[in-house]
C-alpha cells in the first residue's frame, strides 16, 4: 500500500521520510521508511525539495536507491534465520537471560546484579 505526503492538503505519493534528531539538531531526509513511525513524516518529492530546517540545524539528505532491491531468495532468508537462532543461543561467557540477584524493585522494573561468577570463586 502506498502512503501519501504528511503535509496537510497534499495528496501526492510520499517518496521520502523526514526524521528529526533533536539531540544533534539535525533533520534527516531519507528514502521512504518501510513502516510508519509516530515521530517521522512522509514527504512527496516537492515538499522534500523545499525542506528547510530551523536556524542552526543541519539537514542530512540521504540518496534514494536507484533501483528496487532484488527480492530475497530462500538462501538469504535461511541464512538470516540461522543467524538469529545462533544469536539467541547462550554462548560461553554470556549470562543467560533472567539470571542474577534482584537488588531493587520499582513497580514492574527490577534492578539485577549479576550472579557471582563461579570461576572467580574457585581462585
Write down the pLDDT at residue 75: 65
How do the domains of the chain map onto residue ranges?
16-61
Residue among 26, 4, 24 nearest 16 (CA)? 4
pLDDT, residue 79, reads 73
Contacts of 80 (CB under 8 A, 6+ apart): none
In Å, what is the CA distance from 67 to each residue of 63, 70, 85? Answer: 12, 9, 31
pLDDT digits (tens, 9 = 90+) for 6-42: 999 999 999 999 999 888 899 999 999 888 888 899 9
Contact 40, 18 (CB under 8 A): yes
Does the predicted TM-score (pTM) go above 0.85? no
C-alpha span between 16 and 28 (Å, rounded): 10
Residues 45-54 pLDDT 10s: 999 999 998 8
Amino acid at each position: 500500500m502506498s502512503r501519501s505526503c504528511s503535509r496537510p492538503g497534499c495528496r501526492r505519493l510520499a517518496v521520502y521520510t523526514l526524521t528529526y534528531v533533536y539531540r544533534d539538531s539535525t533533520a534527516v531526509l531519507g528514502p521512504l521508511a518501510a513502516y510508519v513511525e509516530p515521530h517521522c513524516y512522509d514527504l512527496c518529492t516537492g515538499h522534500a525539495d523545499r525542506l528547510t530546517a530551523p536556524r542552526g540545524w543541519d539537514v542530512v539528505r540521504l540518496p534514494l536507491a536507484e533501483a528496487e532491491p532484488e527480492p530475497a531468495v530462500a538462501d538469504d532468508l535461511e541464512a538470516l534465520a540461522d543467524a538469529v537462532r545462533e544469536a539467541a543461543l547462550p554462548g560461553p561467557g554470556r549470562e543467560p537471560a533472567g539470571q542474577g540477584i534482584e537488588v531493587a524493585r520499582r513497580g514492574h522494573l527490577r534492578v539485577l546484579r549479576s550472579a557471582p561468577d563461579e570461576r572467580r570463586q574457585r581462585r
